[in-house]
Amino acid sequence: MERGEYLTKIMEDKGFNAMSLSKSSGVPYTTIRSMIERNLTNASVDNVIKICKVLGVSVETLNKPPKNEKVSESRQVFEFIDKIINLPIVGTISCGNGVLAYEDIEGYENVPESWTRGGEHFFLRAKGDSMINARIDDGDLLLIRKQDTFENGEIMAVMVDDEAVLKRIYRTDGQILLQSENTKYPPRFITDPSKIRIIGKLKMNFIHY
């Protein structure tokens, strides 16, 4: 059984056709039809994950048709997916004794392992409207790579006054400048290095549709 056939069978078993699956997942109808016709070859990771969530199956399940059925010789479909991992969605971060601790974990999000190569990652939930001009809205899930260094102009998660905030950051004249992406919020200058702790770098705004 080809992967496109297998996807069609799962859709039918779950009571979906391409149009209803499109409405539920946010993946365009034409994209779903193309995925089926091309046996998911070169399908985007984001679209595959969205469809799997609606259908209630894992990416691995969709990638492996039943063993007693004929499997296509093509192995291109999900070669770029090593595996799916869970990352915590952190509501609060504390910094006691200089050690970061994740508190109030509100849940976990499934992401491809390839998104997290190069370090430890976690999600923060965006709060407020201070970064709206960077297309970051209240409630967005932000993928953060944990690190304590930065380059001028990068968007970083930092601890200031025992609160984790997301700002564009600059080092200038012995000070650290925290810049919002909303003109109603003035820039903030940090003159005492002990008042700030770099948590990590924004890697992705993970938006659900």
- Indicate which residues carry an active-site annotation: 130, 167
How does DSSP assign 157-172, residue by residue? EEEETTEEEEEEEEEE
Of 159, 165, 151, the residue nearest 194 (C-alpha) = 159
3-class DSSP string for 72-105: CCCCCCCCCCCCEEEEEEEEEEEEECCEEEEEEE
Task: Indicate if the alpha-carbon torsion angle 136, 137, 142, 147 is positive or negative.
Answer: positive
Q: Which residues contact 115 (CB under 8 A, 6 or more apart)?
A: 121, 143, 203, 204
Q: Which residues contact 53 (CB under 8 A, 6 or more apart)?
A: 25, 110
Give the span between the Cα atoms of 199 and 167, in whole angstroms: 11
Give the span between the Cα atoms of 158 and 180, in whole angstroms: 13
Give the span between the Cα atoms of 151 and 169, in whole angstroms: 8
Residue owning tokens 């093509």: 74
